[in-house]
Structure 1
Amino acid sequence: MNPFKKIVQLFGRLKEPFFGFLESVKTAKAGFRNGLEQTELDKKLVFSLAKSRWPNWRQLKYLKKYLSRGERLAVGSCLLVILLSSLFLGFRFYKTHLQIIPVAGGDYVEGVVGAVKYINPLYSSVSDLDNDIVRLVYSALFKRDAAAKLVNDLASGYEVGPDGKAYVIKIKTNAVWHSGGAVTADDVVFTFQAIKNIDYKSPLYASFTGVEIEKVDEQTVKFVLAEPYAAFLDLLTFGILPAELWSQIEPTAASLAELNLKPVGSGEYKFKSLVKDKAGNLRAYNLTRNNNYYGQPPYINTVSFKLFGSAQEAIAALNNNLIKGIGYLPAGNKNQLVAQDSLNLYNLTLPKISAVFFNAKANSALGDKKVRQALAYAIDKNKVIDEVLAGNGRAIDGPILPESFAYNAAVKKYNYDVVTSTSLLMSAGWKIVELKEEDIAKAKEDLTAKDQAVKTQAEANLAAGPGKWLMKNNNYLTIELTTVDNPEYSQAAQLIAAGWQAINVKTKINLVPANQIQSEVIRPRNFSALFYSEIAGADPDPYAFWHSSQIGQAGLNIADYANKEADKLLEEGRLTNDLKLRLEKYKKFQELIVEDEPAIFLYSPNYTYVQSKEIKGFGVTSIILPKDRFADVNQWHINTGKKIVW
């Protein structure tokens, strides 16, 4: 058969099924379209009858009738994952975005030892307690921050003249007195002139010799110095008095004014009340928050000072929850605190230098540098710190502390070394002699000798007593160590004396009451060796303590140290604002004084401040004076709230 005909016949047989298939597809498509139209009509009918397009719980219960077991399990698992994920994300958001914030309210009661006398910046510098309250009530041109750095307070800015003798200071325009009225340049001028007025008898008088003040305008003052002084701004931390109130009081009667106990200032807190006992003694002093403070107002409503006669009484009150803090905790009293887990003990660095000062005029043996150095090597500083301060302090090697920019870490160190100490004494001509009991007995007999030399030697032998002692030219190396009669100083003195006696130096301890140490010992230089502490200040300038012009009863150069090269370095160091130059001068000065060793620089104790853990927000790490523990008082808080931060 012809192949072409075969193809025609095959096509004829396939045509009918092919076109039948096409017709069925056409019919299916039409049915699908009709189904979609019907579905849309059904939806419209359902939506018209339903109140919501979302199924309710009543309707959802029929869902299981339309789902297989596997489908139900899958849906349930998905829902569980969604639920757990939502809970996790919600919790994480809460934890990462929730902020605990301070809320105003609450009262803080602090126990302090002492008496309140002058809440007046003209007089408060001689009392830590008065100074504490003055810090809260009054504002100053400058103040200390939490790290003891000098920052603006009432001052909004300042400029120093090119010659370093003029300081122009702008005063903030939003500062107001507790009684109302703006703080102006007139108040600053009045306060400074009151300090300079001898009739007020302010202890600050000597600090501003050769300094004058001028009013530039209502919010600007200008200080003019006779000569440049790099640390001048550090002096301007005294509180400013309201001229309107104090100008009505005669200078000679200022110390008797009622304003000394019921002050008006411009600080974070203002006077509220005071409490006296039946005998008229002041027992509590209460302050309340100043809501009109020009800076951030404090959170705590009231700050009260409860007065005690001793640290032990204050500790007992804290243990009984009668107070929420102690202004200062002596190192030896820490173990008396009962519930220490509920307390914060803040150990604040303080520029306090504890040293043994020598007086060669009272004891000629101390005029020899080798003897002074030998005595320095004989003291175990770390042992003193551990046993007297319970480790709450640091050993020092000179008059400038490590935190100062002028500190010289390379100065000579007098680490505990008995061998070196003994060697220095031997090279200075001292020899060890032994006094036995028979020598003492003979000395008693020789007291009646007609030969004055024999009698004098007998008296020296009896004063030394039995033992091995250092002698030179028939004179024993004997030192009387004088110090303040309190637990810290007396315990330290005993350890110092033990160290000296270990190198055969006869040592006696003389304890003097704290209220007599200045008048009977320091001013008249009535000592051969004095263990005492000095506050160095924020600026490293040690001029007041070591320049020869400060020798004598009116000066603070306790050791009467005189060195012309040291004097020159001190003079040059305080006359320039160039930190690099000052560093150079003070480094050389430290090398000189540590070599001369007119004093043994022992340690710098920390200042321990105690607060209940109820008080939050305390962030102070360093202070210059005890009052500086209130540097961030406007951040302290008792109450807290919660806030979501997006």
Structure 2
Amino acid sequence: MHKFLSFIKEFRIPKKQNLRDALVSFSKKEFYIFTVALIVAFVSMLIILNNLNNKFLVDVPMKGGSITEGIIGMPTLVNPVLALSDADKDLVSLVYSGLVRRSPDGTYILDLAESYTISPDGLTYTFIIKKDARFHDGKPVTADDVVFTIDKIKDPTIKSPRTGWNGVTVEKKDDRTVIFTLNKTYISFLDNMTIGILPMHIWKEKESQFSISPFNIKAIGSGPYKIKSVIKNKDGIPEEYILKSFSDFALDVPNIKTLHIKSFSNEKDLIEAISNGSIDQAGGISPINAIALDKNSHVIYTTSTPRIFGLFYNSTNNKIFTDPNVVMAFNYALNRKEIIEQVLYGYGTIAENPIPETILKNDGAINIDSDSINKANELLNKSGWILGDDGFRTKGGITTIDKTKKVGKKTITEKVKVNNGQLVTLEFSLTTLDTPEFKQSTEIIKNQLKAIGVRVNTEKVYEIGPLNKIIQNREYEALFFGQRINHESDLFLFWHSSQKKDPGLNISMYSNSKVDKILEDAQKTIATEDRITKYKIFIEEFNKDLPALLIYSPKYLYATTKNLNNININTLINPSDRFASVYTWYANTDHVWKIFTK
């Protein structure tokens, strides 16, 4: 060590003349070796420096890029008050902003609003609009625009499909302050505040043409993207919208500069377009098409939906559903996982309870009972349903039993016929929609219940129009159908006994006074944790009664190109919610040192 330190101390960089003399003194072989060593040293140094540089570099989103999304249907009402189809709502979510925005995790974040307060009784909501909130034409967003939009929703001549505004008054306090007053507590009211705000200065002059205004196509909002141009077909119907990022968007300038929204008439054409690369992405695709897409070029994002599919019993039309042992036996016998695998190709989750995951996250995995078929048979035996030679169960009718009696000192046995009333077969008719998914599901259910001796008749299959009439009149014994529970307040509509008749949505005709009270109280409970406690009691009661056999909740499937980043669709209430965080998506990246990202 001492010698090494002495060498370092005495080391001097050779003078230019000394280096020249040394090089001249090299033999040809020595010069070759020296040159190779110098090149190796230089290349090694570059590699080391590059590795060190990369170690401190990170990828960050870069503004720019273009993506093309395909949708089914042609948007012709890009208006938050009028939008009805999924295609309309997709464009509305890109072009318009509300006071708040539903984030990918299901919570609400400020959008056009700077802040808001809710009164302790939950009846008054006060919103303050951001000072720099702007529409795409540069005009400021004011309280007048908010009041105008809500007035249009409530105008009966407009016939807006937006709901949840009965008993709500809205008033302007000043240019930036809006006050909403409710006549009763509405726990889902904050979702109303996601409604896109119309620019009054444009629409005020078009009020008489509200439903047919050209601004329903060339819309002006305050959302993350503004409409640059619209390409129409020969009939004048929009088939492609070209959108540009809005530099004054309230939540920051979107990373993706250009969005192309192309319309298709059906899923077959949509999938063909994404497969051949003419579009980058598409949402709401069916499971069978999702598994067929090239995974080398596309990513399939999945998320929970507010839809629950199952068997909804009508015990008024078939009394077998009033027997707790029978409905519990059905619950044991049904293999939900098999249905999900065969019908949805695995793109679904088992429905654990009547509240979708978008509202109440499930506690854990479903426990599969390997002895469930035996338990189902035991319950049916207990209720007196006898398995016949034909494989189906019956109750009642004429049966022969052995009867003993004394004749003198002898005991003899004789066959005696006993009338147990009318012979009844354990069976029911299952009504459903005429689509491949629904029909395949009912056939699987039929076969699974046949294994425990239940006859299921699956001939009652209808188009949506006639089926809706059947549902309205409650003319079914059991219905395989799906509920869409967008908000907590919808639980009341689906399960409260007051909703048993049309237009109520309690299609199981469920009646439980304890459940009624829980749902009524939940409507008035402001604190989320308190509502969750009530919902858990509701689930317990539901599982005791089993008014429906809940089966699965399908996943929403979103296919995107692999070079698109930061897609976040953890919770979807509506398909258009996939664009909730569109402004954070990015296709282009840049490499910068970590210190410049802080």
User: TM-score band (shorter)?
Assistant: 0.7 to 0.9
- From 371, 376, 380, the equivalent of 2:331 is 376
Check if 1:148 corresponds to 2:118. no
Give the whole-Å Cα distance in 2 for the aligned partners of 1:384 and 1:524: 29
Letter in 2 for 1:351: P
Residues 76 and 235 of structure 1, relative CA distance in 2, 3 Å threshold: same
Question: 2:493 is matched with which residue?
Answer: 544
Q: What displacement does 1:415 show?
A: 8.4
Q: Secondary structure at the match of 2:151?
A: helix
Check if 1:169 corresponds to 2:118. no
Q: What displacement does 1:577 show?
A: 2.0
Contact 1:229 1:576 in 2 (8 A): no
- From 272, 286, 297, the equivalent of 2:253 is 297
Check if 1:595 corresponds to 2:554. no
Q: What displacement does 1:260 show?
A: 1.9
Q: Say which one has the larger Rg.
A: 1
Give the whole-Å Cα distance in 2 for the aligned partners of 1:409 and 1:342: 33
Q: What displacement does 1:83 show?
A: 5.4
- From 421, 441, 444, the equivalent of 1:492 is 441
Q: Secondary structure at the match of 1:94?
A: helix
Letter in 1 for 2:462: V
Q: What displacement does 1:302 show?
A: 2.4
Check if 1:196 corresponds to 2:154. yes
Check if 1:418 corresponds to 2:377. no
Contact 1:393 1:606 in 2 (8 A): yes
Give the whole-Å Cα distance in 1 for the aligned partners of 2:271 and 2:590: 31
Residues 393 and 552 of structure 1, relative CA distance in 2, 3 Å threshold: same
Check if 1:306 corresponds to 2:265. no
Letter in 2 for 1:591: E
Check if 1:629 corresponds to 2:584. no
Q: What displacement does 1:55 show?
A: 4.5
Contact 1:412 1:594 in 2 (8 A): no
Deviates more, 1:548-557 or 1:315-324: 548-557
Residues 304 and 403 of structure 1, relative CA distance in 2, 3 Å threshold: closer
Contact 1:399 1:601 in 2 (8 A): yes
**Pairing 1:197-216 to 2, within 5 Å after superposition:** 197-205=155-163, 207-216=164-173
Letter in 2 for 1:101: V
Contact 1:121 1:238 in 2 (8 A): yes
Q: What displacement does 1:176 show?
A: 1.0
Give the whole-Å Cα distance in 2 for the aligned partners of 1:123 and 1:594: 40
Q: What displacement does 1:548 show?
A: 2.0
Residues 313 and 280 of structure 1, relative CA distance in 2, 3 Å threshold: same
Deviates more, 1:156-165 or 1:406-415: 406-415
- From 481, 501, 506, the equivalent of 1:557 is 506
Question: 1:460 is matched with which residue?
Answer: none
Check if 1:112 corresponds to 2:61. no
Name the TM-score, length of structure 2 as normaliser. Answer: 0.84
Question: 1:448 is matched with which residue?
Answer: none
Give the whole-Å Cα distance in 1 for the aligned partners of 2:134 and 2:531: 39
Q: Secondary structure at the match of 2:240?
A: strand
Q: Secondary structure at the match of 2:542?
A: helix
Give the whole-Å Cα distance in 1 for the aligned partners of 2:225 and 2:51: 40
Question: 2:463 is matched with which residue?
Answer: 513
Q: What displacement does 1:598 show?
A: 1.1
Check if 1:95 corresponds to 2:54. yes
Give the whole-Å Cα distance in 1 for the aligned partners of 2:371 and 2:574: 31
Q: What displacement does 1:347 show?
A: 1.2
Deviates more, 1:273-282 or 1:132-141: 273-282
Question: 2:407 is matched with which residue?
Answer: none
Q: Secondary structure at the match of 1:143?
A: strand
Contact 2:76 2:217 in 1 (8 A): yes
Residues 376 and 148 of structure 1, relative CA distance in 2, 3 Å threshold: same
Deviates more, 1:497-506 or 1:129-138: 497-506
**Pairing 1:257-406 to 2, within 5 Å after superposition:** 257-337=213-293, 339-401=294-356, 404=359
Residues 84 and 261 of structure 1, relative CA distance in 2, 3 Å threshold: closer
Q: Identity, % of aligned pairs?
A: 33
Question: 2:189 is matched with which residue?
Answer: 232
Check if 1:529 corresponds to 2:529. no
Question: 1:222 is matched with which residue?
Answer: 179
Q: What displacement does 1:82 show?
A: 7.8
Report Cα offsets for 1:545-572 as digits up to 9, x if no partner: 2122323222222222221110111111
Deviates more, 1:181-190 or 1:99-108: 99-108
Contact 2:187 2:489 in 1 (8 A): no
Q: What displacement does 1:494 show?
A: 1.5
Residues 586 and 472 of structure 1, relative CA distance in 2, 3 Å threshold: farther
Give the whole-Å Cα distance in 1 for the aligned partners of 2:212 and 2:362: 44
Letter in 2 for 1:616: N
Letter in 2 for 1:507: V
Give the whole-Å Cα distance in 1 for the aligned partners of 2:428 and 2:236: 46
Higher helix share: 1
Report Cα offsets for 1:326-384 as digits up to 9, x if no partner: 122211223432x3211111112223212221122232332333332222222100111
Contact 1:544 1:550 in 2 (8 A): yes
Q: Secondary structure at the match of 1:248?
A: helix
Count of residue pairs brought into register by the alignment:
553
Contact 1:377 1:415 in 2 (8 A): no
Letter in 1 for 2:530: L
Q: Secondary structure at the match of 1:215?
A: strand
Q: What displacement does 1:627 show?
A: 1.1
Give the whole-Å Cα distance in 2 for the aligned partners of 1:472 and 1:216: 73
- From 377, 382, 385, the equivalent of 1:427 is 382
Name the TM-score, length of structure 1 as normaliser. Answer: 0.78
Give the whole-Å Cα distance in 1 for the aligned partners of 2:253 and 2:432: 44
Contact 1:397 1:594 in 2 (8 A): no
Deviates more, 1:232-241 or 1:181-190: 232-241
- From 560, 565, 582, the equivalent of 1:616 is 565
Where structure 1 has 5 or more consecutive residues not aligned to the other structure, the ranges are 1-52, 437-452, 454-470
Give the whole-Å Cα distance in 2 for the aligned partners of 1:227 and 1:152: 24
Q: What displacement does 1:281 show?
A: 4.5
Contact 2:304 2:357 in 1 (8 A): no
Report Cα offsets for 1:470-524 as digits up to 9, x if no partner: x98323333222222223222222211211222222222233234554x323333
Give the whole-Å Cα distance in 2 for the aligned partners of 1:123 and 1:134: 10
Letter in 2 for 1:324: D
Q: What displacement does 1:410 show?
A: 11
Residues 273 and 524 of structure 1, relative CA distance in 2, 3 Å threshold: farther
Q: What displacement does 1:314 show?
A: 1.0
Deviates more, 1:280-289 or 1:390-399: 280-289
- From 221, 240, 248, the equivalent of 2:205 is 248
Q: What displacement does 1:181 show?
A: 0.8
Contact 2:240 2:263 in 1 (8 A): yes
Give the whole-Å Cα distance in 1 for the aligned partners of 2:421 and 2:568: 56
Give the whole-Å Cα distance in 2 for the aligned partners of 1:315 and 1:127: 20
Question: 2:428 is matched with which residue?
Answer: 479
Check if 1:127 corresponds to 2:85. yes
Residues 472 and 244 of structure 1, relative CA distance in 2, 3 Å threshold: farther
